[in-house]
Amino acid sequence: MSGVEAGEFKIVFTGPMGAGKTTAIAAISEVEPVRTEVENTDRVAHAKESTTVGFDFGRITLADGSVVRLYGTPGQMRYRFMWDILGRGAAGVIVLLDASAPGALVQLDVFVDAFIPHVAHGALVVGVGRTDVPNAPSTDAFAARLDARGIVAPVLSVDVRRQGDVMMLVRTLVCILGSHTAHGVPA
Amino acid sequence: MSKVRPAKLSRELARKVLEGYGEVAGVQCAVLFSSDGFEIASHAADAAASARLAAIGSSLAALGTALAGEAGLGDFERTTIESNGGAVTIMRVGSSRSMSLAVVAGKDAVLGQLLWATQRCCQALAKLLDP
């Protein structure tokens, strides 16, 4: 986490295809985000028109002047190699999930397992969308899933289209970072 | 989906084009892939290798598109990764952004010749896939 002391650090948004990583970064970035979206030809995996195959990049400045570089990963397993490239040097990770998608709880495991090795002190926050869809697991179900594996991480219900919701995820992560560094990043 | 996923017949023809291209000095393998990282046809690469090349190649093409756009240079055409063991070229096929070709070449390949041959191959593929 060498970047934290320098007042500039990196946060990675990850999660499966269609969880809203590109939307979340666009919702909060103070610069026009860099996007690498292409046409999605795998409509079986997800019905959406386009999908990120490189990475998203945005930036925000916190109240204390710290600059946060925001990176979004591709969600599909075939882009697993990008997860490690983007995870390297990250101060913290935000895992986004769509509760109404099949296997959302299993997806939580997949992304937590992939990114936990990259972040110190468990700097990880989970944002779950569409928990209001009938039969979708609640945020408690996601928290219990983490708890059962001995992982302590906040799980928040979010609508990634809302700037306030996404900023809440970032602030929560920054709080975790601040509590673990001598020259912590104030929220 | 059918717009970018060619029918079986054209896949077979694409594979034939790649086979001919495989004769170019130094070419080790070639993979034609969709912009979202799926293999469409390949030559001299096994299924696992071509799937990985397709995924990584699509990321590079997308990053190339983003970088060219950022620099105000228009559309992505190609990028070449050179290493001490050889070179990999990713080249866009046709004028659409729907597919690209990745070519792996050894040290014995002459880069200029490789790029010229790859361009010819991409032109043949473009005709085939979007007649």
Please determine, for residue A54, whether its predicted confidence score (pLDDT) is greater than 60.
yes
CATH number, residue B69: 3.30.450.30
Cβ neighbour number for residue B19 with a 10 Å cutoff: 13
B65 domain residue, yes or no: yes
B12 domain residue, yes or no: yes
pLDDT class of B5 with cuts at 50, 70, 90: low
Strand pairing class (A56-61; A8-14): unpaired
pLDDT digits (tens, 9 = 90+) for A113-150: 999 999 987 899 999 999 999 999 999 999 999 999 99
Q: Which two tokens stand for residue A49?
A: 């028109």
Whether the CB-CB separation of A3 and A90 falls below 8 Å is answered with no
- Helices marked H in B8-71 — which ranges? 8-21, 47-70
B1 domain residue, yes or no: no
pLDDT digits (tens, 9 = 90+) for B65-91: 999 999 999 999 999 999 999 999 999
The residue type of A145 is: R
Please determine, for residue B130, whether its predicted confidence score (pLDDT) is greater than 80.
no
Comparing alpha-carbon positions, the chain A residue that sits nearest to B62 is A36
Strand residue runs (E) in A62-162: 67-72, 92-98, 124-129, 155-157
Please determine, for residue B93, whether its predicted confidence score (pLDDT) is greater than 80.
yes
The answer to whether A49 faces chain B, any CB pair under 8 Å, is no
Strand pairing class (A124-129; A155-157): parallel
Interface of B with A (CB under 8 A): 1, 4-5, 34-38, 51-52, 54-56, 58-60, 62-63, 65-66, 70, 97-98
pLDDT class of B11 with cuts at 50, 70, 90: confident
Please determine, for residue B20, whether its predicted confidence score (pLDDT) is greater than 50.
yes
B97 neighbourhood in chain A, CB within 8 Å: 38-39
B30 domain residue, yes or no: yes
Cβ pair A41:B58 closer than 8 A: no
How far apart are the C-alpha atoms of B85 and B107, rounded to whole Å? 6
Question: What 3-state class would DSSP assign to A170?
Answer: helix
Q: Identify the domain containing residue B15 by its residue range.
A: 8-129
User: Average pLDDT, stretch A7-35?
Assistant: 96
Mean of all residue pLDDT scores within chain B = 90
CB nearest to B66's CB, from A34, A39, A40: A34
Strand pairing class (B86-92; B99-106): antiparallel
Comparing alpha-carbon positions, the chain A residue that sits nearest to B50 is A78
pLDDT digits (tens, 9 = 90+) for A62-103: 988 999 999 999 999 999 999 999 999 999 999 999 999 999
B51 neighbourhood in chain A, CB within 8 Å: 78
User: Average pLDDT, stretch A26-33?
Assistant: 97
pLDDT value of position A3? 44
Comparing CA positions, the residue from B20, B59, B60 lying closest to residue B43 is: B20
Residues 100-159 of A with CB under 8 A from B: none
What whole-number percentage of chain B has pLDDT above 70? Answer: 92
For residues A134 and B1, which has the higher predicted lDDT (pLDDT)?
A134
pLDDT value of position B8? 55
CB nearest to A35's CB, from B35, B54, B66: B66
- Chains A, B: CB pairs < 8 Å: 57
Contacts of A89 (CB under 8 A, 6+ apart): A3, A10
Global pTM reads 0.89
Cβ pair A38:B1 closer than 8 A: no
Instruction: Give the homologous superfamily in CATH for domain A2-178.
Output: P-loop containing nucleotide triphosphate hydrolases (3.40.50.300)
Q: Which two tokens stand for residue A56?
A: 């998203």
Whether the CB-CB separation of B55 and B31 falls below 8 Å is answered with no
The answer to whether A74 faces chain B, any CB pair under 8 Å, is yes
pLDDT class of B128 with cuts at 50, 70, 90: confident
How far apart are the C-alpha atoms of A89 and A78, rounded to whole Å? 22
The residue type of B25 is: A
Comparing alpha-carbon positions, the chain B residue that sits nearest to A40 is B36
The residue type of A174 is: V
Cβ pair A38:B38 closer than 8 A: no
pLDDT value of position A7? 81
Which of B35, B60, B75 to mutate: most A Cβ within 10 Å? Answer: B35
Mean of all residue pLDDT scores within chain A = 92
